[in-house]
Amino acid sequence: MKSYQEFIVWQKSMKLVTQIYKLSSDFPQNEQFGLTSQLRRSSVSIPSNIAEGFGRNSSKEFVRFLQISMGSIFEVQTQLQISKNLEFISNEKFNIIFSDAVEIEKMLKALIKSIKSKSS
């Protein structure tokens, strides 16, 4: 790959960021510096770390940043569940975005496994 932008997982995580920003814009105003901010920051972290890791030009470093992205996708999943529990989002919206997050999780796992197997 010539660019991190060619990775489907990066493209899908960018789409997820957009979905999260749109979704969280309807959260209560008093959550602006709480759950809204945390959810947005953790979602932004996913494609950002994919890009930064790719730029390190080292398989070991790339894997390390992909693992950070994995932590962020788990944060997003948890924060989405909290948002649903607090009734900030509907079950329907939750199911759609959560399934996208799970798909990104699986793609990150597969990419990490692939890079590790090629470098060993």
CA distance 82 to 86: 6
64, 49 contact by CB (below 8 A): no
- Under the banding of pLDDT at 50, 70 and 90, the label for residue 69 is very high
Going by the DSSP 8-state scheme, the letter that residue 26 receives in this structure is: T
pLDDT of residue 65: 98
Burial environment of residue 78 by CB neighbours within 10 A (0 to 12, 13 to 18, 19 or more): middle
pLDDT of residue 114: 96
pLDDT of residue 29: 93
- Which of 3-7, 79-83, 84-88, 115-119 is predicted least confidently? 115-119
Q: What is the pTM of this model?
A: 0.95
pLDDT tens across 40-57, in order? 999 999 999 999 999 998
- Nearest CA among 108, 18, 35 for reference residue 71: 108
Q: Domains in the chain, ordered, with CATH?
A: 32-119 (1.20.1440.60)
CA distance 29 to 12: 28
pLDDT of residue 19: 97
Predicted confidence (pLDDT) at residue 119 exceeds the cutoff of 90: no
